[in-house]
Amino acid sequence: MEKTKVGIIGLGTVGSGVARLLLDHGDRTARHAGRVLWLEKAVVRDLNKPRDCELPDGVLTDDVDEVIDHPEIKVVCQLMGGVDRAREVMLRTLESGKDVVTANKALLAEHGPELFDKARELGRSIAFEASVAGGIPIVANLSQCLSANQVTSLHGILNGTSNFILDKMHTEGAPYADVVAEAQRLGYAEADPAMDVDGTDAAQKLAILAQLAFGARLDWRDIPRSGIDQVDLVDVGYAQEMGYRIKLLAVADLKDGHLDCEVNPALVRAGSPLGKVGGPFNALLANGDAVGPLFFHGQGAGQMPTASAVVADLIDTAVGRTAITFRTLGLWSEDLRGVDQGDFAASTGKRYVRVMVEDHPGVLAEVTGAFGEQGISIASVLQKEPLEAGGVVPLVIMTHAASEAATDNACTKIAALPSCRAEPTKMWVRD
Ligand code: NAP
Ligand code: HSE
């Protein structure tokens, strides 16, 4: 059988999974590729670190040039993480005439236009299924299977680490900090887990999906975002009491020719498809004008789910499918500029607002009055007894649909009330 020689740069969580699939299940990949995908070289920084896979002699190296300059390696899996060094290595790999498969969304969100232009110029391809939502084949679905549609919205849980942490907070009441360490140990988190919990990783993935679905060339930094590091266990409890779950939601809505994008913790109904997404799983609710609503669900982080997406890309690249899609899609090309980002302050929706106030007569009227002045109608109010007489009480308010700007104005007014003891906490409610 014909052989396609493969190099892997980065043999950590994902790279080891890819090596295991190639070495332990070569028959499977050969059946689907019609050729053997032969692991020729794997590059790491530290040759002495224990690996999560067993490699034949001579495969492991700490010299990246052994892959880039290898005359017989045709496809390179770039799984080293980071941005600057990864960019340099990817450019050199393309220039040496090799196709690239990557899971590195930070790199694509930062340098996608440059890298894709370079690959096109050189007649090479970049496959990146694993860069968004781990094992869920969302890139292929958005770029190929939905091509008869205008996608009108994407609402997704795109960070497995955040979902894992929020799920533990909901189901075990576990404090946030304890669960972060567990997510790292299980291989879900980025090398710098701050990127997971502050919304960066989800915003980078949303920028990639927005390019695929809407042709939007967004700088991920321009996507309004906050992360789960802002989520307090008390809000998890109140959300639960009201029949909701808090999820880190990445949202892109096409409205009047503009794209409203954001990444924020939001309340979703506990029994809804997104509300039921547990552990490190990801999900995406997409709407197309022809197909209607679609729901994708699967493991969004972790060794084997991510390796599953990488190896599928490897097969597509080895047999030539990626080259055709890559060329025809024209991703991130100057000729394919799609929609622009809308005005976030104008976006509307229901809100959850928690206010910590002194418990005295008239305080409820003061707080609800601030919403009334902004024309915001209140759907429900939950007030808890203070722990001690005259103590501080949480007022949990659910509003009807209101704009971001009006909600901000109401919260600013409330924060300035003498009876208010802390900045109000606010989150979207996505029913
Ligand atoms: P990781 O466990 O930290 O592995 C990174 C690997 O790259 C390590 O083997 C490391 O070598 C190697 N490396 C780093 N810098 C290098 C350099 N300058 N030269 C040579 N090798 C270098 O990371 P990971 O979790 O596998 O993630 C890899 C990529 O996939 C990242 O872009 C990440 O965002 C993305 N991703 C990860 C997941 C996931 O669930 N983990 C899911 C989807 C996408 P040493 O081992 O010797 O240190
Ligand atoms: N750290 C990422 C996450 C890995 O938790 O979703 C998958 O991209």
Any ligand 2 atom below 6 A from CB of 188? yes
Residues 115 and 205 in one domain: no
Residue spans of alpha helices (H) in 343-388: 363-373
pLDDT band for position 246 (50/70/90)? very high
Residues 315 and 293 in one domain: no
Residues 177 and 249 in one domain: yes
> How large is the average pLDDT for residues 184-210?
96
pLDDT tens digits along 99-144:
999 999 999 999 999 999 999 999 999 999 999 999 999 999 999 9
The answer to whether 375 and 410 have CB atoms below 8 angstroms apart is no
| DSSP tag of 134 | T
pLDDT greater than 90 at residue 359: no
Residue nearest to atom 4 of ligand 2 (CA): 301
62: domain CATH number is 3.40.50.720
Q: What is the pLDDT of residue 346?
A: 76
Across the chain, mean pLDDT equals 95
Q: What is the pLDDT of residue 90?
A: 98
Residue 305 Cα to ligand 1 midpoint, Å, equals 15
Any ligand 2 atom below 6 A from CB of 160? yes
Q: What is the pLDDT of residue 56?
A: 97
Residues 31 and 118 in one domain: yes
Atom of ligand 2 nearest to the CA of 301: 7
- 193-197 LR contacts (CB < 8 Å, sep 24+): 193/161, 194/229, 195/106, 196/159, 196/161, 196/162, 196/227, 197/161, 197/162, 197/165, 197/227, 197/228, 197/229
Residues 243 and 350 in one domain: no
pLDDT band for position 387 (50/70/90)? low
pTM for the model stands at 0.96
Any ligand 2 atom below 6 A from CB of 359? no
**What are residue 62's phi and psi, to 5 degrees?**
-110, 15
Say whether 19 sits in a helix, a strand or coil.
helix
Residues 150 and 252 in one domain: yes
The alpha carbon of residue 391 and the mean position of all alpha carbons in its chain are separated, in whole angstroms, by 40
CA distance 418 to 421: 8
Residues 63 and 203 in one domain: no
Residues 280 and 150 in one domain: yes
Q: What is the 3-state secondary structure (H, E, C) of 27-83?
A: HHHHHHHCCEEEEEEEECCCCCCCCCCCCCCCCEECCCHHHHCCCCEEEEEECCCCC
pLDDT greater than 90 at residue 47: yes
What one-letter code names the amino acid at 201? D
CA distance 108 to 121: 17
Q: State whether the Cα torsion 114-117-121-124 is positive or negative.
A: positive
End-to-end CA distance of the chain: 53
CA dihedral 68, 69, 72, 74 (to 10 degrees): 30
Residues 258 and 312 in one domain: no
Beta-bridge mates of residue 378: 399
CB-based burial, 198-236: b 16+ in 10 Å, e otherwise: bbbbbbbbbbbbbbbbbbbbbebeebbbebbbebeeebb
The answer to whether 73 and 6 have CB atoms below 8 angstroms apart is yes
The alpha carbon of residue 356 and the mean position of all alpha carbons in its chain are separated, in whole angstroms, by 32
CB atoms within 10 A of CB 332: 22
pLDDT greater than 70 at residue 161: yes
Any ligand 1 atom below 6 A from CB of 204? no
Q: What is the pLDDT of residue 257?
A: 87
Domain final residue pick, 336, 359, 383: 336
Domain with 354 in it = 344-430
What percentage of the chain has pLDDT greater than the value 70? Answer: 99
CA distance 58 to 39: 11
Tokens describing residue 419: 């009876």
Say whether 2 sits in a helix, a strand or coil.
coil
Structural domains in the chain (count): 3
> How large is the average pLDDT for residues 46-74?
97
The answer to whether 210 and 226 have CB atoms below 8 angstroms apart is no
Residues 13 and 107 in one domain: yes
277: domain CATH number is 3.30.360.10
Say whether 381 sits in a helix, a strand or coil.
strand
The answer to whether 245 and 119 have CB atoms below 8 angstroms apart is no
* Helix, strand, coil abundance in the chain, percent, nearest 5: 40, 25, 35
Residues 153 and 121 in one domain: no
Task: Choose the weakest-confidence range: 73-82, 139-148, 375-384, 389-398.
Answer: 389-398
362: domain CATH number is 3.30.70.260
Any ligand 2 atom below 6 A from CB of 135? no
Range picked from 125-139, 208-222, 227-241, 353-367 for highest mean pLDDT = 125-139
Residues 179 and 267 in one domain: yes
> How large is the average pLDDT for residues 240-244?
95
Residue 69 Cα to ligand 2 midpoint, Å, equals 31
Domain final residue pick, 267, 297, 327: 297
Residue 160 Cα to ligand 2 midpoint, Å, equals 5
Q: What is the pLDDT of residue 132?
A: 98
Active site residue 205: yes
